[in-house]
Amino acid sequence: MSLHIYDTSTRAIREFVPVEAGRASIYLCGATVQAPPHIGHIRSGVNFDVLRRWLTRSGYDVMFCRNVTDIDDKIIRVAAQEGVPWFVVAERNQRAFTWAYDTLGCLPPTVEPRATGHVPEMITLMQRLIDHGHAYASGGDVYFNVQSYADRYGYLSNQKVENMRAAADTDDESCKRDPRDFALWKGEKPGEPIWPTPWGPGRPGWHLECSAMATKYLGPTFDIHGGGIDLIFPHHENEIAQSQAAGDGFARYWMHNGMLKIGAEKMSKSLGNSLLIPEMVQKVRPVELRYYLAAPHYRSSIDYSEEALLEAAAAYQRIEGFVTRAAEVIHDVDADAPLPQAFVDALNDDLGTPQALAVVHEVVREGNVALSRGDKEAVARLLAETQNMLDVLGLDPRSPQWRGAGSDLAPVVDALVAVALEQRKAARARKDYEAADAIRNQLAAAGITVEDTPHGARWELAR
């Protein structure tokens, strides 16, 4: 079975057929950088990183665009509260998001455009909409004319125009022809950043930014648009309206990940229950946090609890334990070994990570039995299958990302620890246990745990 995904716009599972054979284009609504990220924000990054990895493994050349909204009402409000320029808030939090994505093993996007770098494209899009009668300038603002597109507006969120509330995105609604019209451009206000346009100075509206960036990098029609389910309306609905009204095909598939909640509440700063990434990776290792976020189906909601987090960490450690023990017996893993068909079928069925991880755990159980029997041929096959499946999910414990020091320093750490372990081995051989213990204690002080096994000493970063 080829890849099939749930398309929000049709509310159905559809076979993935790209615009261009062999290539897949993805636009993911990235961070609005008014605050540092909590795990609810980064869940989207992890989910779509798995999609991107699976498309690559399936033979597609993937163009992955994840934007940064670096100018927005919320950013301006935070900057005013702190008494700093808006760009200080944006830059600080963008760095926090980048660190979080990297820490949880998300591959860097092919391109990561900032909204403020694409004002010329936004001006061009607004002019096209005005020329087509779908937008109008009023009092320094520019608005999308919802009634001009009423026959199509609302199909993504399955709403009718007459039942919609006012957009409520401006201070003075009198400038609008219809309360549901949304702002493409917001005219100059004291203390706010401005850019020049034919309709007066001001700054872009949130929805306009994404349409301009998506089509610049992926073309007028592209494959997949992703984001959290909370973005369906009004953000994604407005993106579709303004893009298609201007004559672009825009996204062929819409994928939305579920929310992460605490109890019945959606995570948010205003509720005071956000769990920031630096705090979370003190509770569990980054790879274990990634497992926790990737294990549920991307469309399901996650009700956060520390108990569930620790259960996920323990589940990952069972996988990791097999990989570590098997790698002591099998030194050369076949990176080209085929993936189990059940794993392939699971991911092709709307990115079914729960079923895919069930296959991983089943193979691990078989692998542990093979290890206990001393069946090296079976261990080699099952280790290769396990590592190849984990690579697709970004969870391979032997990848440089998770070796403990990042891809640049991992070989250095390996070499230094290897020297220390050789010295410890020599001390034990001459029965100088005091010296051997001292070396072990020095490594422990440096955050490295040593375990003696039948195949020699094994080390890992302290949990």
In a shared domain, residues 211 and 354: no
The lowest-confidence range among 69-83, 144-158, 215-229, 263-277 is 263-277
Report the domain count for the chain.
3
The lowest-confidence range among 3-12, 318-327, 349-358, 403-412 is 403-412
In a shared domain, residues 348 and 244: no
pLDDT at 418 over 60: yes
In a shared domain, residues 412 and 397: no
Give the model's pLDDT for residue 270: 54
- Whether 288 maps to a domain, the answer reads no
Chain segment 433-462, per-residue pLDDT in tens:
676 677 778 777 777 777 666 666 666 666
Domain endpoint, select from 216, 235, 257? 257
- The C-alpha angle with vertex 281 and arms to 278 and 286, in degrees rounded to 5, equals 120
Domain endpoint, select from 364, 386, 401? 401
Give the model's pLDDT for residue 406: 45
Residue 459 in tokens? 């080390």
Taking the CA atoms of residue 37, residue 39, residue 40 and residue 46 in that order, the dihedral angle to the nearest 10 degrees is: 100
* CATH code of the domain in which 391 resides: 1.20.120.640
* CATH code of the domain in which 56 resides: 3.40.50.620
| pLDDT band of 178, cuts 50, 70, 90 | very high
Give the model's pLDDT for residue 313: 98
- Whether 316 maps to a domain, the answer reads yes
In a shared domain, residues 127 and 193: yes
pLDDT at 284 over 50: yes
In a shared domain, residues 413 and 356: no
- Whether 290 maps to a domain, the answer reads no
In a shared domain, residues 324 and 418: no
Q: What is the mean predicted confidence (pLDDT) over 172-191?
A: 93
Chain segment 349-372, per-residue pLDDT in tens:
999 999 999 999 999 999 999 999
pLDDT at 414 over 80: no
In a shared domain, residues 82 and 157: yes
d(CA 273, CA 304): 11
Q: Which structural domain range is residue 200 located in?
A: 4-257
Question: Of all residues in the chain, what percent carry a pLDDT higher than 70?
Answer: 90
d(CA 49, CA 68): 16
pLDDT at 410 over 60: no
- Whether 279 maps to a domain, the answer reads no
Whether this model's pTM surpasses 0.85: yes
- Whether 134 maps to a domain, the answer reads yes
Give the model's pLDDT for residue 315: 98
In a shared domain, residues 411 and 378: no
Comparing 270 with 353, the larger pLDDT belongs to 353
In a shared domain, residues 376 and 418: no
Give the model's pLDDT for residue 169: 87
Beta-ladder partners of 461: 448
Q: What is the mean predicted confidence (pLDDT) over 336-342?
A: 95
pLDDT at 389 over 80: yes
Give the model's pLDDT for residue 460: 67
pLDDT at 107 over 80: yes
Domain endpoint, select from 352, 381, 401? 401
In a shared domain, residues 161 and 223: yes
In a shared domain, residues 139 and 51: yes
Query: Contacts by 156-160 with C-beta closer than 8 Å and gap 24+?
Result: 156/8, 156/9, 156/232, 156/233, 156/236, 156/237, 156/240, 156/254, 157/232, 157/233, 157/236, 157/237, 158/11, 159/233, 159/237
Chain segment 224-264, per-residue pLDDT in tens:
999 999 999 999 999 999 999 999 999 999 999 999 998 76
In a shared domain, residues 163 and 204: yes
Peptide bond into 18 cis (omega under 30): no
Query: Is 105 exposed, middle or buried (CB count within 10 Å of its CB: 0-12, 13-18, 19+)?
Result: buried
